[in-house]
Amino acid sequence: MEKYATVMGVKFPKMTLDRTIEVLTDVIEEKRSELFHVITVNPEIVIACQKDTSLRSIVDEAGLITADGIGIVMVSRLRGGNLPERVTGYDTLLRLLDSGNQKRWSFYFLGADPITNEKVCEVIRKKYPDLSILGRHHGFFKQTEEDKIIEEIGDLKPDILVVALGAPFAERWIHNNKSKLNAKIAIGVGGSLDVIAGKVKETPESWKRLNLEWLFRLIQQPSRWKRQLILPKFAIRALTFREK
Ligand code: UDP
C-alpha cells in the first residue's frame, strides 16, 4: 500500500497519532545531531504552500508532517489517499507530555502571552511532575530579544521545544533557527498552550468525534470566522486539484 497521501501536492504520511508518537519517541531516544521539525499541516498551510515557495520548502524539509484537520483527512479519502485520522498539534502535544512524564523528557515552552506562558508551565508541572521544564518564554518578544531566547534554548538543549507563536510563523521561526536551537524535536502547536492553560476552552470529545472541532472553535472565538472561510475554499480547490 502507498505510504503517503498527496493533498494539493503536499505529501502526508499515512500515520495515526499512536504511530506519530512512536516515531517521535524513537527520535528522542536516538542520538541525532539535527533538529527534527514536526509540522502539523492544516488547510491554511496547504493553501499557502501553493504560492509561497519558501513555506513549501519548509514543509518539504520537515522531519515529519501530520494531517492537522478533518478537511485534509476527508479530501484524502475522497481522492483515494485514505489518511487514517487527524493528527493535530494539540493531541500530539498532550501525548508528548504524557510520554515525557513517563520517560522524563525535557521541554522548553516558547509562545503565548506572558500570563498564559507562566500559567501553562504551572499546570503542566502539576499534571506531569516527572517531566522537566528547562525553560520558557512568552511569544511577544521584540526582535532585539530574539537572539537571547535562541541562545538560551540552545544552551538548555531540551528534548522537545514547543513553539506556540501561531502558524506559519512558528514553522518559519523553527526552520530559520534550526541549527542553533539544539533541541531534538521542535513542534509548532498553534493555540494549544492557551487551551492547556485554560484561557481558551478545550473542544469536548463529543464535538471532536463528530468532526465539528472547527465549529466549536468558531463559537468560542467568533473572530476566527474570516480564517475559517479558508475551509470551503480548501475543499473545492483540493478536490479539483490535479495531483502530479
Ligand atoms: N502568539 C504569540 N506571539 C505572537 C502571536 C501569537 O505567542 O506574536 C501566540 C498566541 O498567544 C497563541 C498562539 O500564538 O497562543 C496562536 O494561536 P492560534 O490559535 O491563532 O494558532 P494558529 O492556529 O494560528 O497556529
pLDDT tens column, 201-233:
999 999 988 988 889 988 988 888 888 888 899
In the block, residue with C-alpha cell 515557495: 53
Q: What is the mean pLDDT of residues 124-152?
A: 98
pLDDT, tens digit (0-9, with 9 covering 90-100), for 170-193: 999 999 999 999 999 999 999 999
pLDDT at position 223: 87
Q: What is the mean pLDDT of residues 39-56?
A: 97
Atom of ligand 1 nearest to the CA of 89: 25
Return the closest-CA partner of residue 88 out of 72, 107, 105: 72
**b/e map 225-239, b = 16+ CB within 10 Å:** eeebebbeebeebbe
Q: Which one of 165, 169, 227 would you pick to mutate in the ligand 1 pocket, going by the greatest count of ligand atoms within 8 A of its CB?
A: 165
pLDDT at position 1: 62
Return the closest-CA partner of residue 200 out of 113, 124, 130: 113
CA angle 184–88–207, rounded 5-degree value: 155
Atom of ligand 1 nearest to the CA of 192: 15
Across all residues in the chain, what is the average pLDDT? 95
Atom of ligand 1 nearest to the CA of 138: 7
Alpha-carbon distances, residue 228 vs 116, 209, 231 (angstroms)? 24, 19, 6
Return the closest-CA partner of residue 11 out of 78, 99, 72: 72
Atom of ligand 1 nearest to the CA of 167: 25
Ligand 1 within 6 A of 118 CB? no
Ligand 1 within 6 A of 162 CB? no
Note whether 149 and 182 are within 8 A (CB). Answer: no
Ligand 1 centroid to 6 CA: how many Å?
27
Q: Which one of 194, 200, 201 would you pick to mutate in the ligand 1 pocket, going by the greatest count of ligand atoms within 8 A of its CB?
A: 194
Stated as kind and residue range, the H or E segment containing 60 is helix 53-61
Note whether 5 and 82 are within 8 A (CB). Answer: yes
Share of the chain above pLDDT 90, in %: 86
pLDDT, tens digit (0-9, with 9 covering 90-100), for 76-115: 999 989 999 999 999 999 999 999 999 999 999 999 999 9
Ligand 1 within 6 A of 111 CB? yes
Check whether 150 has a pLDDT greater than 80: yes
Q: Which three cell numbers stand for residue 173?
A: 521561526
